[in-house]
Amino acid sequence: MGFFKYGARGSGCKAAIVGVFVTAVPVSAAEVSILALGDSLTQGYGLLEQDGFVPQLRNWLADHGHDVRVVNGGVSGDTTAGGFARVEWSLTPDIDAMIVTLGGNDVLRGIAPQEARSNIEGILKVAQAQNLEVLLIGMEAPGNFGADYKQAFDGLYPELAQTYGTVFLDSFFKGLDRQGQSLAELSAFMQDDGIHPNPEGVVKIVETVGPKVEELLYRLD
């Protein structure tokens, strides 16, 4: 899933459930644990483990002075419904906060925006019940489903973020902003499927997500 080729490449997302990855860093009393709940973008589809989103984010945070354990709760092919179905058992007692990055596969399948909204709201309600801070990362629908679909889908993220008081980033791909760049230049940061970022693309994505995670961490102080 991504902003390049929604729809046509949807079958490239494998529905295999991946094991939860925990960064190999000793847990200390001061360490914060964050669950990254998502799909293949979070899981690191098509990448060596160290090149994936979660390891790169953990390293970025460490480089910026934060002792953070990031749990990879990404399941390749997952939808917002899948995330909602597993969020409660994924939030083990040691988790202090959560990153939610879901919705790309809903778009690939043409799932109604109101259904995606209901599922993400369910996830946020679970976090709220457990007094957990959340970083909600949005997804953008393409135009091929029509303007109304795109407006409803894109709009659900900022609306829910405001309602539930989460930290918010409007797009997972914000770091690959198209402004002033050609399609060829952007393609240099994507895998051949045009859906998932390559290692260099993940670097740029993490550079944008990282400060938002810092904002999340400041709320825990």
Phi, psi angles (nearest 5°) of residue 32 = -100, 140
Are residues 154 and 145 in contact, defined by beta-carbon separation less than 8 angstroms?
A: no
Q: Is 40 a catalytic residue?
A: yes
The identity of residue 113, as a single letter, is P
Nearest to 13 by CA among 35, 37, 42: 42
Q: DSSP letters of 120-136?
A: HHHHHHHHHHTT-EEEE
Q: Is 78 a catalytic residue?
A: no
List the catalytic residue out of 51, 67, 96, 193: 193
Q: Is 196 a catalytic residue?
A: yes
* Angstrom distance (rounded) from CA 13 to CA 39: 9
List the catalytic residue out of 40, 78, 90, 106: 40
Catalytic residues, by residue number, are: 40, 193, 196
